[in-house]
Amino acid sequence: STRVRTRDLIAAKERGEKWAMLTSYDQYTAALFDEIGIPALLIGDSAANNVYGYETTLPISVEELLPLVAAVARSTTRTLVVADLPFGSYEASTEQALATAVRFMKAGAHAVKLEGGRRVAAQIAALTGAGVPVMGHVGFTPQSEHVFGGYRVQGRAEQGEEVRLDAHAVAEAGAFAVVLEMVMSDVAARVTKELDIPTIGIGAGAETDAQVLVWQDMAGMRRGKAPRFVKRYADVATVIEDAARKYAEEVRDGVFPAPEHGFH
């Protein structure tokens, strides 16, 4: 079977078909999500929190994210593999953005994602022109949390116009899709109607063309208070915890390994 292409995602919008994106950072989740037909997988810089244990997405480096992109690319045959560009790896210039994007494409990505609207339009145009499909990301952008002053919904009242202008700038620069994060639902709905490229919402209501969630949030691998936009579809943390507890208990009790686990 063949890979999903960026044009397939645009065609899905034309047909009015909604789809779901997930993050993935490793072989097993990548293969599972690929198998069930998730059309695009994002190796998010959220690996900072969800793989590397950082507090925010700011510290993760290109060197830390690259091997995860390569792992997901190697472990899938159908999904479109989208690599997030880390904070500090694309903002300075079109040259910097292209140099970074090329590293991710050589590692196996089929597209890259970067944060920002009007301020990164030149980077999006340069990458697209050089053969790198770009997914935009506007609204609340976590790499800029210190400018936003925390995790705050975007697009309230007259601020909605700022989100619209950013989304339009991203589309006009050549992006094939755009993530709308923590955007007021009415603004996200309007942007979705106005743009020809798919909008992918996270905390942006039900009217976007697609949705995205971090897999550990979706599957309940991550514990603790989740943001309002997360829905937990399973309690994977408890499944693994119970398995590990049982294993440790059986070792202590001399139940594992049994004769059949050994070589006699």
DSSP 82: E
45 binds Na ion (CB under 5 A): yes
Burial class, 61, CB count within 10 angstroms (exposed 0-12 / middle 13-18 / buried 19+): middle
Choose the binding region for ligand KIV from 41-49, 68-76, 168-176, 182-190 (rule: CB under 6 A): 41-49
44 binds ligand KIV (CB under 6 A): yes
Contact string (CB under 6 A) for ligand KIV, positions 67-96, x = contact = -----------------x------------
Annotated ligand binding at 46? The verdict is yes
Q: What whole-number distance in Å separates Cα of residue 20 and Cα of residue 132?
A: 22
Annotated ligand binding at 24? The verdict is no
Q: What whole-number distance in Å separates Cα of residue 255 and Cα of residue 187?
A: 59
CB 132 within 8 A of CB 101: yes
Annotated ligand binding at 84? The verdict is yes
Q: Which of residues 179 and 191 has its CB atom nearest to ligand KIV in the complex?
A: 179
CB 58 within 8 A of CB 38: no
84 binds Na ion (CB under 5 A): yes
Annotated ligand binding at 172? The verdict is no
Annotated catalytic residue 145: no
Among ligand KIV, Na ion, none, residue 23 binds (CB under 5-8 Å by kind)? ligand KIV
Please spell the DSSP secondary structure of 86-99, one letter per residue. PTTSSSS-HHHHHH
Residue 157, CA distances (Å) to 160, 170, 220 in order: 6, 21, 34
Burial class, 105, CB count within 10 angstroms (exposed 0-12 / middle 13-18 / buried 19+): buried
Q: Return the residues of window 2-31 that contact ligand KIV according to CB under 6 A.
A: 23
Q: Which amino acid is at 120?
A: V
Among Na ion, ligand KIV, none, residue 207 binds (CB under 5-8 Å by kind)? none
Q: Out of 214, 218, 219, 221, point to the residue binding ligand KIV (CB under 6 A).
A: 214
Choose the binding region for ligand KIV from 12-20, 37-45, 155-163, 223-231 (rule: CB under 6 A): 37-45
Q: Which of 181, 194, 241, 249 is catalytic?
A: 181
Q: Out of 6, 29, 46, 123, point to the residue binding ligand KIV (CB under 6 A).
A: 46
Which two tokens mark 97? 């953005």
Instruction: Give the active site residues.
Output: 181
